[in-house]
Amino acid sequence: MDNCIFCKIINGEIPSTTIFEDNDFKVILDVSPATDGHALILPKKHYKDLNELDKSCSEKLLTIASKIGNGLMDTLGYEGYNIVQNNGEAAGQTVFHFHMHVIGRKKNGESILTWTPHNQEAEIRTEIGNKLKEALTKNN
Ligand code: AMP
Ligand code: ZN
């Protein structure tokens, strides 16, 4: 894909710190890490986002994610890790080549993912749930 920064990294046109590579994926370190070792799993094939991923790529992805997460824990002393994956500008996606963030975490470390939990009446949740259930069953 022309003008895709991650395709350029995969092709070696732009330098990166690569920590793992196989036929299908390249895993690099994020230039602006949330914590040390913050890794980005890049499929070598250009997919814009999760909706475009093919079955074979999706099937391999979580195996690589746990391998990287465990590598972060074993090597850098993390006690856990987050997987973050943004789809669409509204969700914070800034590079439109699918990627998965793997971020090492320590107890009492800086918080990196937060949201405000809102109170919600049960009837509203039921209404929303029914709407989603109907749509998802139709698309099945
Ligand atoms: P997202 O907001 O999920 O699209 O994440 C894009 C990520 O790519 C951000 O965390 C950036 O810091 C990271 N990033 C952008 N350019 C580069 C680059 N040249 N090398 C490594 N990471 C990059
Ligand atoms: Zn790309």
- Is residue 5 within 6 Å of ligand 1 at its C-beta? yes
Atom 3, ligand 1: residue with shortest CA distance:
93
pTM of the model: 0.95
**Domains detected in the chain:** 5-109 (3.30.428.10)
Residue 71 contacts residue 129 (beta carbons within 8 Å): no
Strand order in the sheet with 25-29: 18-21, 25-29, 39-43, 100-105, 80-84
Catalytic residue among 38, 46, 97, 99: 99
Residue 101 is predicted with a pLDDT of 98
What's the mean pLDDT when you consider all of the chain? 96
What would the pLDDT profile of 36-77 be if each residue is shown by its tens digit? 999 999 999 999 999 999 999 999 999 999 999 999 999 999
- Is residue 85 within 6 Å of ligand 1 at its C-beta? no
Residue 99 is predicted with a pLDDT of 98
Tokens representing 106 are 């320590």
* Pairing label, strands 39-43, 25-29: antiparallel
User: Residue 97 catalytic?
Assistant: no
